[in-house]
Amino acid sequence: MTAEADTTAEHRATTGLSLRFEVASSPRLLALLEREFDAIAATLAPWGRFTQPVRLHVAADLPTVRALAGGPTDGILQAAATAEVVVLLEPSRWPTTPPDPALRTVVTHELAHALLFQRCAPPGRSRPVALPCWFREGMAVLASEGRPDARRRIEAASRTDVARLAHADATAIAGEPDATYDVAVTLFDAWLQLYGMRKLGALCREMRNGRAFAAAFASSCGVEEAEWLTATVRQLHALASDGGTTAPR
Ligand SMILES: [Zn+2]
């Protein structure tokens, strides 16, 4: 199979996730999905149902990833997502060829983005209203890697620039991916522990109805995002100073 070969490989899961390879195929990705698709779908199931299929486009080079992303690419740089399309750089072209578990995590992470975008994009749009980094990346990291362990939370909590990284743009994410993802998943996890999946659904619904994130957050959570962020950063710093024995709310 060449990198340019068309393929009609299609996977469907009972959770509504339907994935279709588009244009260039990757034997390695095809094999991985053949083996792991149901497990990936099960991992994403608690986060809601896909309402439309996702096309997986394997790109031969980074400019193609960026062009297909139609905007700034993910901090991972080798991948991007909209509500309908996940673009992945052919794994053999990555700076360091990822082992299978890492590749699976990236695929799951991007599909988590697609799912969240489907849940909060207004009808007829493949992108949601602008989502802050901590919410968008935090959800994808939590969905694909699970809850942050104490080390990861303390790493995030110890930083003096949590508030800045919470709203990191694509350039900042690319410059400090580890710190940005640590902060994002720690904040999103704290938010979800406090508000739960029902509030996540309410927040998505508000944005689907056309509200900006800040307005949707204030309306569904009963507090301004900035106020919640300040309080959470304070709790995280307290966590860091007591060595992580107090779980953040
Ligand atoms: Zn991401």
Q: Please write the tens of the pLDDT for every residue from 44-87.
A: 999 998 888 898 888 888 888 877 666 554 445 688 888 888 98
Kindly give the distance from the C-alpha atom of residue 207 to the centroid of ligand 1, in angstroms, as a whole number.
Answer: 19
Kindly give the distance from the C-alpha atom of residue 109 to the centroid of ligand 1, in angstroms, as a whole number.
Answer: 6
Longest dimension (CA), the chain: 56
Give the distance from CA 206 to its chain's centroid. Answer: 19
Query: Rounded to the nearest 5°, which phi and psi values hold at 88?
Result: -125, 135
Of 98, 120, 142, the residue that ends a domain is 120
> In Å, what is the CA distance from 138 to each residue of 10, 52, 109?
28, 23, 10
Q: Please write the tens of the pLDDT for every residue from 131-160.
A: 999 999 999 999 999 999 989 998 898 898
- pLDDT above 70 coverage of the chain, percent: 87
Kindly give the distance from the C-alpha atom of residue 115 to the centroid of ligand 1, in angstroms, as a whole number.
Answer: 12
Asked if 224 contacts 217 with a C-beta cutoff of 8 angstroms, the reply is: yes
- Span 183-192, average pLDDT: 97
Kindly give the distance from the C-alpha atom of residue 62 to the centroid of ligand 1, in angstroms, as a whole number.
Answer: 16
Residues 225 and 196 in one domain: yes
Residues 137 and 237 in one domain: yes
Neighbours of ion ligand 1 (CB under 5 A): 74, 137, 140
Of 67, 99, 120, the residue that ends a domain is 120
Of 71, 87, 120, the residue that ends a domain is 120
Residues 86 and 154 in one domain: no
Q: How far apart are CA 144 and CA 133, in angstroms?
A: 16
**Domain around 45:** 10-120
Kindly give the distance from the C-alpha atom of residue 18 to the centroid of ligand 1, in angstroms, as a whole number.
Answer: 20
Q: Please write the tens of the pLDDT for every residue from 114-136.
A: 999 999 998 888 777 889 999 99
Burial 131-160 (b: 16+ CB within 10 A, else e): bbbbbbbbbbbbbbbeebeeebbbbbbebe
Instruction: Provide the domain count of the chain.
Output: 2
Q: How far apart are CA 179 and CA 173, in angstroms?
A: 8
Residues 162 and 112 in one domain: no
Q: How far apart are CA 102 and CA 37, in angstroms?
A: 15
